[in-house]
C-alpha cells in the first residue's frame, strides 16, 4: 500500500494498493490548470491500478523519475511474489505421487 497525506495538516488522505498496476510519466504539456489554488508541478506521473488512477507531482524531473522507478519496483515485486505463489501452488498440485512400494532399479541396458 502507498499511503498519501494532506500536505499542510499531515493527516492521512488515502491509500493506493500497489499489488498490480503501472506508472505513467506524464508529458510536461499534460498539466492541470495552474493557479494560486493549484500550484501543480510540471513533473507529474500517474499511478494506474485496477481500482483507481492517482496523480502525483514532484518538485523536479529527477525526483519524478526516482518516484516512478521506486513505485514500479514495488508493483513488480508484488506481482513476482503473487506469480511465485501461484506457480508453487500449481506445481504442488501437479507433482507426481510415488507409492512407497515402488522401487527404482538401475540397469546397464542401453535405451532403445
Residue 111 lies in a domain: no
What integer pLDDT is reported at residue 67 of this predicted model? 95
Specify the number of domains making up the chain.
1
CATH number at residue 15: 2.30.29.30
Residue 58 lies in a domain: yes
What integer pLDDT is reported at residue 29 of this predicted model? 76
**Domain assignment of residue 17, given as a range:** 2-32+39-90
Predicted model pTM: 0.67
Residue 60 lies in a domain: yes
Cα–Cα distances in Å, from 99 out to 15, 93, 96, 102, 104? 51, 16, 10, 6, 11
Residue 44 lies in a domain: yes
Residue 82 lies in a domain: yes
Element (H, E) at 2: strand 2-5
Residue 105 lies in a domain: no
Q: What does the pLDDT profile of the chain (112 residues) look like in tens digits?
A: 999 999 899 999 999 999 989 999 998 876 564 544 456 678 899 999 999 999 988 989 999 999 999 999 999 999 999 888 888 876 666 655 544 443 333 344 443 4
Amino acid at each position: 500500500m502507498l499511503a498519501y497525506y494532506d500536505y499542510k495538516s499531515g493527516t492521512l488522505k488515502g491509500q493506493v494498493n500497489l499489488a498490480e498496476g503501472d506508472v505513467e510519466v506524464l508529458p510536461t504539456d499534460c498539466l492541470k490548470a495552474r493557479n494560486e489554488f493549484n500550484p501543480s508541478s510540471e513533473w507529474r506521473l500517474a499511478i494506474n491500478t485496477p481500482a483507481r488512477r492517482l496523480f502525483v507531482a514532484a518538485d523536479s524531473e529527477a525526483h519524478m523519475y526516482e518516484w516512478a522507478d521506486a513505485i514500479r519496483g514495488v508493483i513488480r515485486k508484488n506481482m513476482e511474489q503473487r506469480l511465485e505463489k501461484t506457480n508453487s501452488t500449481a506445481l504442488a498440485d501437479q507433482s507426481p505421487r510415488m507409492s512407497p512400494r515402488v522401487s527404482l532399479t538401475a540397469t546397464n541396458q542401453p535405451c532403445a
